[in-house]
Structure 1
């Protein structure tokens, strides 16, 4: 099965441009990692950076902060929620306007696509990586008011993003765009939030 996947990815690379060809080469090289026990486990864990878990984590943080009267925690929860919401909105707009087969579909059909389109099929909506956008937006939101969380938040977001390549859910350029969406979303939402609420949180 592994050899067949590699053959399909190589077949698809014959009919595409340089960027997609490089994407396919990286996915092909990362394929063995995704087939290991650790790779599969990380793929499952990365689902915690899907939309519902991140929204739940953001809301929980906000509620805990409000309930315990800790402004910094409440502010962090609100920052997480807003950053994630904006990242989700932006990545959805992009997905709604571009069709791109996910690597796993390319590995089955031997054909890669990236074109303007409006497909609602999940396997045709690879660009950008929503997991990467959400994970990075939330991680950055956490760190903004809690710099001590940097050694945990950033590596977790990076791992969740990179695993999307090994599990053949996204191409490297999908992940890169997702990361940029996440960073931009958090920066914009935090700037707006700070202007509206003013100041820094009390500890």
Structure 2
């Protein structure tokens, strides 16, 4: 139970402000979490688009390579001289080297994107853990504040009961005092009347005694 000093030191406005700040912090954390998830989804969609483009270019490159090979074979069949064959073969090798280089570049781009997505996922998980930890802390603070409110409510209820009891006692005391005052006033009136009667009686006796002495 909270004592009177704690009740006096408890600032309701400060408590309400803390509740509002906690709710805003909680809403901000949820908003940042959603934004992180949206950014990750956008990155995944971009990766999917790049991968689709890569597969399409890979297919196109393969088609080109097949076309070049077919063309080379035709040239070889048509060429009668060894030099022409070597030149065509060299061109074909050059094309193959370029194709391999293009494939390596695409593979490297794919790896870079995968690594970037991996790093973003790790960052998102860390941020999520931080947000969840903060939310848990805020929830614990809210629970503590609710406990204090409940405890303060019980203490206030007890104080109200004590105040009602004291007020009832004071009312009874006041009624008793008023009754006694009325009794005292009546006694005083009775004493005054009795005193006046005694004074009149004494006065009569005094006059009678004085008259007798004169005779």
Larger relative contact order (CA 8 Å, sep ≥ 6): 2
**What's the TM-score, normalizing by structure 1?**
0.24
Larger Rg: 2
Higher helix share: 2
